[in-house]
């Protein structure tokens, strides 16, 4: 296998309410499997992986690359995805490529959308936001993922498509008045099949990460942590 060949690649996506995995050695995965709900990520991911490898007559020791969705998203789901990935890197020769969830979601945009905006973990007028420009089949970040105001996404340049799980009514109305195509709710769902494709591209580019240094992106701290801090420091 060449140094830039991803070989047998496993994609793990646990940032959303529905988790998914994809496994393959070529441009298209051999298997894609989804499971839900989010509260079962912790007990569902490992058995799903075991079943998938068994179905393909493979074993995890053959893994060369793991493409991991890094968030933001579900606190529990991301934590489990990272834990399983780090365990696999200790027990297999697999290397890791990190795929931001915003980048995965941007690929849900229609193929004719040139400027694409993504908003996650929306709270009031704030969110984890990113923007991309399409050139051919390639999406290039024009705004790197960061915590910011939703209003930032509606200008400079104005997006053709805005992908978000939820949006405040004012932003929704403004976006529609501007003629921006909104993809909300179920359209803001990540797929391991896309993580797989992005992972292959990242591996070919040699864009590997140190698994011991990887941490999930949560966008904002979990609600339970915020409440605990408020009670601790009234």
Mean pLDDT, contiguous 10-residue spans, the chain (234 residues): 81 92 96 74 80 96 97 90 95 96 96 95 89 94 93 90 93 95 89 97 95 85 48 59
pLDDT of residue 187: 82
pLDDT of residue 185: 85
Residue 153 near residue 179 (C-beta atoms within 8 A)? no
pTM for the whole thing?
Answer: 0.89
pLDDT of residue 107: 95
Cite the residue boundaries of each domain of the chain with CATH code 3.30.420.130.
Answer: 109-188
Phi-psi group of 73: left, alpha or beta (phi > 0 → left; psi -120 to 50 → alpha; rest → beta): left
Architecture category of domain 9-101+189-232 in CATH: 2-Layer Sandwich (3.30)
- Measured between alpha carbons, how far is 231 from 109 in angstroms, rounded to an integer? 42
Q: How far is CA 137 from CA 102, 106, 107, 112, 185, in A?
A: 17, 12, 10, 10, 25
- For the record, the structure tokens of 94 come out as 């697999």
Q: 179 — phi, psi (to 5°)?
A: 80, 20
Tell the residue number behind the tokens 């979990």, with chain if given: 222
Cite the residue boundaries of each domain of the chain with CATH code 3.30.420.40.
Answer: 9-101+189-232
Residue 119 near residue 153 (C-beta atoms within 8 A)? yes
Architecture category of domain 109-188 in CATH: 2-Layer Sandwich (3.30)
pLDDT of residue 225: 44
- Measured between alpha carbons, how far is 6 from 26 in angstroms, rounded to an integer? 9
- Measured between alpha carbons, how far is 61 from 69 in angstroms, rounded to an integer? 21
């Amino acid at each position: 296998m060449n140094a830039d060949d991803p070989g047998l690649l496993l994609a793990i996506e646990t940032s959303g309410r529905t988790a998914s995995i994809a496994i393959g050695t070529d441009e298209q995965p051999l298997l894609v499997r989804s499971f839900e709900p989010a509260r079962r990520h912790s007990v569902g991911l490992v058995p799903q992986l075991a079943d998938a490898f068994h179905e393909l007559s493979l074993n995890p020791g053959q893994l060369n690359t793991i493409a991991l969705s890094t968030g933001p998203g579900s606190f529990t789901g991301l934590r489990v995805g990272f834990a399983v990935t780090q365990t696999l890197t200790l027990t297999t020769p697999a290397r890791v490529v990190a795929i931001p969830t915003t980048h995965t979601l941007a690929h849900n945009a229609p193929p004719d959308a040139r400027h694409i905006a993504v908003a996650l973990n929306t709270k009031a007028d704030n969110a984890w936001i990113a923007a991309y420009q399409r050139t051919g089949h390639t999406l290039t970040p024009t705004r790197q993922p960061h915590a910011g105001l939703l209003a930032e996404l509606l200008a400079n340049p104005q997006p053709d498509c805005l992908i978000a799980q939820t949006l405040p009514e004012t932003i929704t109305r403004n976006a529609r008045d501007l003629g921006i195509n909104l993809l909300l709710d179920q359209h803001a769902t990540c797929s391991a099949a896309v993580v797989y494709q992005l992972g292959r591209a990242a591996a070919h580019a040699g864009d590997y990460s140190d698994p011991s240094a990887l941490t999930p992106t949560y966008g904002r701290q979990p609600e339970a942590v915020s409440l605990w801090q408020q009670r601790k420091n009234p």
